[in-house]
């Protein structure tokens, strides 16, 4: 099975995945990357951050970039996000 490395970049740090994870292919890699995004966003929101910029860059076992995932999340309290602007 191919090995993928998930490198994480946010506003304050860059975590290089030295070990990697064996997965069945690109679809499994995509599912893993989106799961990581969700877990980190939840953790940072729980820590009180209201704006989160996050990126996950995925390399294959040959060091080739096979995925880029980015998310910007802003927590807005007390406003209806579906209300029409006047």
Phi-psi region of 32 (alpha: psi -120 to 50; beta: other; left: phi over 0): alpha
- Rounded Cα distance between 8 and 31, Å, is 15
Q: Which of 24, 18, 19 is nearest to 2 (CA)?
A: 24
Q: Scan for tokens 């990357």, then name that residue.
A: 33
Q: Which of 73, 72, 52, 67 is nearest to 17 (CA)?
A: 67
**pLDDT tens for each residue of 43-69:** 999 999 999 999 999 999 999 999 999
**pLDDT tens for each residue of 2-37:** 999 999 999 889 999 999 999 999 999 999 999 999
pTM attached to this predicted model: 0.84
- Rounded Cα distance between 9 and 69, Å, is 10
């Amino acid at each position: 099975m191919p090995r993928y490395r998930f490198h994480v970049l946010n506003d304050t740090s860059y975590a290089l995945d030295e070990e990697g994870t064996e997965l069945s292919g690109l679809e499994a890699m995509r599912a893993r990357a989106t799961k990581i995004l969700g877990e980190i966003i939840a953790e940072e929101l729980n820590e009180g951050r209201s704006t989160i910029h996050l990126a996950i860059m995925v390399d294959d076992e040959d060091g080739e970039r096979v995925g880029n995932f980015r998310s910007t999340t802003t927590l807005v309290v007390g406003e209806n996000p579906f209300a029409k602007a006047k």
